[in-house]
Structure 1
Amino acid sequence: MEYNVENLFDCRHDSLKQDEEFLPGSVRHWTWKKYQDKVNKIGKVVLAASAVQVPDIVGLCEVENESCITRLVRYSPLRDAAYRYVMTDSPDERGIDVALLYQPHTFRLIAYRSIRIPLRKLRRPTRDILHVTGRVVSGDTLDIFLCHLPSRSGGQKKSEPYRLAAASLLKEQTDSVMGTRKDPHVVIMGDFNDYPPDRSIREVLGASRPGKEVEPRRLYNLMDGKKKGTYRYKGEWGILDQMIVSGTLLTGASGITTSYEKARILDFPFLLEEDEQYGGDKPFRTYRGYRYHGGYSDHLPVVLHLDIRE
């Protein structure tokens, strides 16, 4: 599962980060009560994501620090799920990072690392890419890349070079894994701030919807062509949150398999509200501008089901 949780900030000021908006005396009036309510809501979404059991792996974007993740796994509806976690400590100016929760009995952690995107390729520091390697119950190795690419602030065209730079580094890292693993099982998930046809995904990563012929060491975007979207802008749905996999996972020849149909967007009614301006529905978010709205997030989560042969 991957979910951009929309500014999960605690109520304490970090003097090294620009987190002033999310303090009790700030323009947003971010309080401990609002913070705990948001933590509880995120826990509720994760629990609702799977009818049989909690998701084995959960990637979260827009998390301020380790304190927020600790509160989520220990003091929310997730407290009995016994998640463990790893996360980045990025140079992002606002202090937001990505974090990966995992179930240790189904995903045995082998290694993890943060991949820093060189500042010379960016206008300002951005989030690290998190690479996590673990072993599943079949004995196969699974490599997960969790990312939150640079935003569209300043406009799509002006900001695109920064996402292209981040995607280029991501491609180098995934190519390295696929070149060294005998059967590379790679999952890339996160908020790309780009849509499936955009250059960062279609050209740089070379990831599009899988067809009849699948190459084991090529990347495929399982969100390409899905209906609706994960984010709504001016009445138009689009998919900013991607689930991209190596072809090995689609061939059915290894211990871990999946398919295009097993990736989907979670659009539970409680995550949505009426779009009074444009009609239809939209994500039920935490803030409308600077006014507290009490919802969940401005993004919808995406999930991918993996079949594992024990």
Structure 2
Amino acid sequence: MNMNIIRLLLCWVAWLVSMSLVAQQQFLVMEYNVENLFDCRHDSLKNDLEFMPGSPRGWTYSKFTKKVESIARVILSASGEQVPDLVGLCEVENEFCTRTLVRYSPLREAGYEYVMTDSPDERGIDVVLLYQPYTFKLLEKHIINIPTTSIGGRPTRDILHVSGQIVTGDTLDVFLVHFPSRSGGWRKTEQYRLMAAGRLKSASDSIMHLRTNPHIIIMGDFNDYPSNKSLSEVLGAHKPGKTTEPHSLYNLMDGRPRGTYKYRGEWGILDQMIVSGTLLGKGSIRTSYSNARILDFPFLMEEDDKYGGDTPFRTFNGMRYKGGYSDHLPVLLELEIHHSD
């Protein structure tokens, strides 16, 4: 065969390979309950006295900065050389904590911007979405209040809804939640999580009707397991099967072994990653059940002296300071971006 023809064929194959690599890229979404990221200053409007230098916890500025650096390490370790495009954080006290993490920790080189809630939660904890402005162009931010006090509950965390445009031109709608606590018993407090799930379902249904091709991600600490009513009945979010419906919700954490949280020796999944069926199809942005995972890096774990096996290496065990990362494990979702010709 003529050498010129061979060279042309080799160039053509190389071009096809390069185009294939360009046509597919990752968009990473992470969620992490960071276990009480509090500063050391008292907010007179919040019940934050347990995280003060003179409190039984003995919370100091050096412990705060260590905590911030630990969270930064987890985010930077999430997926090789690429940092997540979106990071949802639960249990962050205020903007000072967020700004310290983004601007004055090892995370500063990543160039994150952020949006967060300012909830009526009595302890002052909120949810924060970190985003990469070059891969997620912020369009809108909405706050969804959960009126739990109207049915006898305590004020709780708002739901954060953020809309952004990704490189394909598609709009991605992200809901970040931290549902009401189980403190006091899960049966007694279930009504508050059902209310939160109802508000979330209404908001996601609105997006389903508003967008021609809705791409929805719902993530956070639900304080409920995949089989509980808030997820399985109100949201109707289950593990995807062989077929999926574009306008239904699917829980990519449902059915996984182990979990994100260990309670009295039993693993369970409190941190969920839920997507609309459109993201499980063959569109320009897509994912699958196998593209979601729980991050259980060895440095995030320690030996469980009481129940055996391992357990998340947490910051506190009760009031005893351990200097670990969190009592929850993070979850990571990989989206595949396919550019049209």
TM-score range, shorter chain: over 0.9
Provide Cα deviations, 1:79-101, integer angstroms capped at 9, x if missing partner.
Answer: 10010000000000000000000
Mapped to 1, the partners of 2:80 and 2:257 lie a distance apart of 22
Counterparts of 1:184-223 in structure 2, within 5 Å, are 184-223=214-253
* 2:189 aligned with 1:124: no
Mapped to 1, the partners of 2:209 and 2:332 lie a distance apart of 27
Partner SS state of residue 164, structure 1: helix
Provide Cα deviations, 1:181-204, integer angstroms capped at 9, x if missing partner.
Answer: 011100000000000000000000
Partner SS state of residue 162, structure 2: strand
Give, as a single letter, the amino acid of the residue that structure 2 aligns with 1:272: M
Give the CA deviation at 1:52: 2.9
* 2:334 aligned with 1:305: yes
Contact 1:122–1:162 (Cα < 8 Å) also in 2 = no
Counterparts of 1:1-310 in structure 2, within 5 Å, are 1-118=30-147, 119-121=149-151, 123-252=153-282, 254-310=283-339
| TM-score of the aligned structures, taking structure 2 as reference length | 0.90
- How many corresponding residue pairs? 309
Provide Cα deviations, 1:200-252, integer angstroms capped at 9, x if missing partner.
Answer: 00000000000011000000000001111000001100000000000000011
Partner SS state of residue 177, structure 2: strand
Give, as a single letter, the amino acid of the residue that structure 1 aligns with 2:97: C
Mapped to 2, the partners of 1:121 and 1:98 lie a distance apart of 23
Provide Cα deviations, 1:270-296, integer angstroms capped at 9, x if missing partner.
Answer: 000000111000000001110111000
Aligned alpha-carbon RMSD (Å): 0.7
Mapped to 2, the partners of 1:309 and 1:110 lie a distance apart of 21
Q: Structure 2: 5+ residue runs without aligned partners? A: 1-29
Give the CA deviation at 1:122: 5.0
Contact 1:6–1:62 (Cα < 8 Å) also in 2 = yes
Mapped to 1, the partners of 2:151 and 2:218 lie a distance apart of 22
Q: Structure 1: 5+ residue runs without aligned partners? A: none
Provide Cα deviations, 1:82-137, integer angstroms capped at 9, x if missing partner.
Answer: 10000000000000000000000000000111111123145110000000000000
Mapped to 1, the partners of 2:288 and 2:187 lie a distance apart of 33
Give the CA deviation at 1:171: 0.2
Bigger CA radius of gyration: 2
State the identity as a percent. 68
Partner SS state of residue 307, structure 2: coil
Partner SS state of residue 75, structure 2: helix
Contact 1:121–1:165 (Cα < 8 Å) also in 2 = no
Give the CA deviation at 1:145: 0.1
Runs of 4+ aligned structure 1 residues displaced above 4 Å come to none
Mapped to 1, the partners of 2:79 and 2:269 lie a distance apart of 21
